[in-house]
Amino acid sequence: MNRWSALAVILLFAGALAFRFPRLDARPLHNDEAVNAVKVAELWESGHYRYDPDEYHGPSLHYATLPFLSLSGAASPNELKEWVLRLAPVLFGAALPLVLFLFADGLGRHAIVWSSLFIAISPAMVFYSRYFIHEMLLVFFTTLTIGSAWRYVQSRSIDSKDVARAGGMSYTSPFWAIAAGLGLGLMFATKETFVLSIAAMGIAALGTAALTSPRKIRGIVASNARDLALGFGTTFLVWLLFFSSFFTNFHGLLDSFLTYMPWLKRAGGDSPHIHPWYFYLQRLAWFHPVKGPYWSEGLVLLLAVIGVIVSIRRKNPLLRFVALYTFVLTAIYSAISYKTPWCLLNFYIGMILLAGVGAAACVEFVRSRPIRFTIAALLLAGSAQLAAQSWRASYQYTSDRRNPYVYAQTVPDILNLVDRAEGLARVSLDGFETIVKVIAPEDDYWPLPWYLRRFEHIGWYDKLPADPFAPIIIVSSKLDARLDDASERKWLMAGLTELRPGQFFELYVELQLWTKYVEGLPPAPE
């Protein structure tokens, strides 16, 4: 890449960071975020982490978050804020354009600049970069793996005199083998679904080899057993360190494989998150809820189609690989019944790379400079529309179901429940040692374990216990508890809170405690 293209990508990285950073606490934690928050808080406070193969994803997110917790100034998990937890995904999401330097000679410097722009402003990319979940880290490490593998292939197939034409990357092949192995190991340590990306990579690599030069590819692989050993050795080391919790939990190594038993059940349909094959594409292409705005990342999809056409016309192995990889991975995720919208990021990054190629091809298609400027201006206008949607998704419709990327999102009303519970604790003689009971079928009370973390004596129940009473009781409305009637008004129902859309919780408070709380409230303004 020349200096101007490199500068553009660096500026887009800075812009992506600035776009993602403001108001990271604009919405309450999603239940998945709260689960991760509890796990990382335990790691930060105790120094110990155990991988759970049944309900949780890999450890990389937790370890990546530790430096931000240490720098936050918080003295304990009780003082941690939502915005601090979300800093790691923000950084990885914003840094994606920098990884694209690895693809410069294969996709073209103009394509890389356009792709970096789309990453910086895509509503899906921006919104989920502000989510304390694993997906953005998985996308980053996947891109790093593919980019490093490409650099490895290039380093074995070009002469040193051609380094400048290969993007200026003059590192030797062992370096890139290790970098690819590192990326692969971190994919493994991030989320179980990395195997889907690996499967798509394998199919795409075979297809690319068949379409280009199978003999050359086989020669590169067969003659460099040392480099492959270095790469996979690095992957093994990362797996060993992360899943053994840095040699403190060796059972985690076995658990990293046992995890596929429960996840296969969910993928096969044993889950409430079952959706039709077009679920992801619908959200990207056209989403218009009742009484809501229009949403579409159709510009990226259209340009990605042009990028695919370019990949067919050009004998470019990297471009063909990206096109095949994106097609296969999109098909895999669409075929799996289990779907949550953030999973689309895994194939959408491929679409964005293809869209960058498509945008560059549109501009370069004509020789007339005025027409080129006109096409570029039209693409930038379309990009501005994407940026406006990103702002709307991340700062206006942050927890609104009319946002295509909001899914089972915690309703802001939960913060009122938390404020009231903490207010009750402050007037109670027992303070935050006041006993609290939270009752919901199927343990469906997240993210309350995070938001009620200040309470030292809190019980969690999936059905009404024989003795449901405590000074503070939070119970799902599905259970029809009617604890005020059952207690002959010794407990009062003090509020109804929506936890997630259509899911309500009732707050019951012991009469004496509630009376004391109300007496301490400031007088209502006249």
d(CA 25, CA 84): 9
- Taking residues 391-406, what's their average pLDDT? 95
Structure-token match 């999603």, residue found? 30
Furthest CA-CA distance within the chain: 88
pLDDT tens digit sequence for 320-373 = 999 999 999 999 999 999 999 999 999 999 999 999 999 999 999 888 889 999
Residue 135 φ then ψ, to 5°: -60, -45
- 113 close to 166: Cβ distance less than 8 angstroms: no
SS3 content of the chain, % helix, strand, coil (to 5): 65, 5, 30
- Residues 75-84 have pLDDT tens digits of 999 999 999 9
Exposed e or buried b per residue across 313-337, where buried means at least 16 C-beta atoms within 10 angstroms of its C-beta: eeebbbbbbbbbbbbbbbebbbebb
Nearest residue to 506 (alpha-carbon basis) of 466, 462, 474: 474
Answering whether pTM is above 0.85, one says: yes
410 touches 27 (CB < 8 A): yes
Mean pLDDT of 281-304: 95
Write down the pLDDT at residue 215.
Answer: 63
Matching residue, tokens 């051609």: 162
Written as one letter, the residue type at 208 is T
Residue 315 scores a pLDDT above 90: no
Measured in degrees and rounded to the nearest 5, phi and psi for residue 437 equal -120, 130
Q: What is the DSSP string of 384-429?
A: HHHHHHHHIIIIISTT-TTSTT--SPPPTTHHHHHHHHHHHHHHST
pLDDT in tens, 97-135: 999 999 999 999 999 999 999 999 999 999 999 999 999
The bridge status of strand 491-500 relative to strand 503-510 is antiparallel
pLDDT digits (tens, 9 = 90+) for 229-256: 999 999 999 999 999 999 999 999 999 9
Q: Are 34 and 447 in contact (CB under 8 A)?
A: yes
First vs last C-alpha separation in the chain: 67
Residue type, 404: P
